Amino acid sequence: MSSGTGSRDLSALTVGFIGAGNMAFAIGSGLIKQGVLKANQVIVSATNLENLRKRWNPVGVTNTTTDNSEVIRKASIIFLCVKPHILPAFRKSIEGKLGGVDCREKVLVSVLAGVKLDRLKAEFASLGINHVRTMPNTPMQVGAGCTIYSEGFEPNCPTAVRDRYEDIKFMLNQLGLAYEVREDQINGITGLTGCGPAYVYQIIEALADGAVKQGAARDQAIRMAAQTVMGAAKTVLETGKHPAVLKDEVCSPGGATIHGVHELEKGGLRATLMNAVEKSANRAKELQ
């Protein structure tokens, strides 16, 4: 896990978000809810100002714009949260608008799936901005995310850039777990951390459906399924026990649980989840 878990004073920091979709909102709103940033430290840009304000104003963010270059001018850390195929259009949107802006101590934090640091450096070479590549996930909005990241700084980058990197690591760790990895690992792990929440939501829904079939009320079944998954996950993290050991602790000989586990094995649950991670990872690689 990152070493950036200590206390840091970010009160003088302005953090920008370019693209205001689900991931940007998960990170931005999470930082505000966790008290890491105040809403007035955040600036966000998107193409539709009305939708932007509708989503971000309720969490206190009023510094909104349709001008991407404004975010780069005002923020020292900028989260780039557009879709990968929009990257060239984004670059064009800021061309000729940043004259006189010194970006050498700014950091662009990319959340673009599959887009390598080398490409980011090439796209924004004229700015002289610094780059960090990340793959966060949406549970960051409730402080329970899991992020992987890798920096692409030049050896002679200013000390201020290293300070910003510590700020970034600190922020990511306040929103869950954050791991620094080699860049060549990011696409593969994306299939787990970036896409994994969607798989778990399906599992929660399926567990709830099973309970509804047995007569449980829908709203209660969903909450009970979510709590069961959260409790199991927390047990893994806090006990440090292997999931297989914890599974065995629940399965009494000839009991109800082992009969259910047998059905999961017959249905290929583990192989299906492994295949899902692999498919998502392969797709991330195709996007680069």
| CATH class assigned to 196-286 | mainly alpha
| 22 annotated binding-site participant | yes
How far apart, in Å, are the Cα atoms of 194 and each of 28, 111, 123? 17, 10, 24
pLDDT digits 0-9 by tens, 15-64:
999 999 999 999 999 999 999 999 999 999 999 999 999 999 999 999 99
| 96 annotated binding-site participant | no
Query: What is the pLDDT averaged over residues 174-180?
Result: 97
| 68 annotated binding-site participant | yes
Using DSSP bridges, classify how beta strands 15-18 and 42-45 pair: parallel, antiparallel or unpaired. parallel
pLDDT at 5: 56
| 140 annotated binding-site participant | no
Same fold, 15-187 and 196-286: no
Phi, psi of 47 (to 5 degrees): -75, -30
Q: Which CATH architecture has domain 15-187?
A: 3-Layer(aba) Sandwich (3.40)
Q: Taking 80 as the threshold, does the pLDDT of residue 99 lie above it?
A: yes
pTM: 0.89
pLDDT digits 0-9 by tens, 257-266:
999 999 999 9
How far apart, in Å, are the Cα atoms of 200 and each of 142, 205, 206? 16, 9, 10
pLDDT digits 0-9 by tens, 182-232:
999 999 999 999 999 999 999 999 999 999 999 999 999 999 999 999 999
* For the chain, domain boundaries: 15-187, 196-286
| 23 annotated binding-site participant | yes
| 19 annotated binding-site participant | yes
CA atoms within 13 A on the CB side of 14: 14
| 204 annotated binding-site participant | no
